[in-house]
Amino acid sequence: MAADATDTTGTNTGRRRLTGKVVSNKMEKSATVQVERLVKHPRYHKYMKRHKNYMVHDETNQVNPGDIVVIEESRPISRRKRWVIVENTNA
């Protein structure tokens, strides 16, 4: 579940895509997705996990906690939502 950008076959939108895990869907048309990435420590050269939570737009309320989803940047939808769910890999 690394934060590597997924391949956008055929579409060149220039928007970032991230893969993450849904941690909350208690809101209407919204969900919280946690994206993990690996960072190398500058001195000890050990890889550490870092994560960030993103508020994402889910128009159909189709995702559940634990689902792995691909999210993409979009225009600002609300104060904290700037990402939309592109695909649900568990469906």
Q: Each residue of 12-48: pLDDT tens digit? A: 789 999 999 999 999 999 999 999 999 999 999 999 9
1 touches 68 (CB < 8 A): yes
Tens-digit pLDDT profile for residues 41-86? 999 999 999 999 999 999 999 999 999 999 999 999 999 999 999 9
* Cα R_g (the chain), whole angstroms: 14
pTM score? 0.83
Give the residue extent of every domain in the chain. Answer: 17-88
User: Rounded distance, CA 48 to CA 59, Å?
Assistant: 34
- Which class is domain 17-88? mainly beta
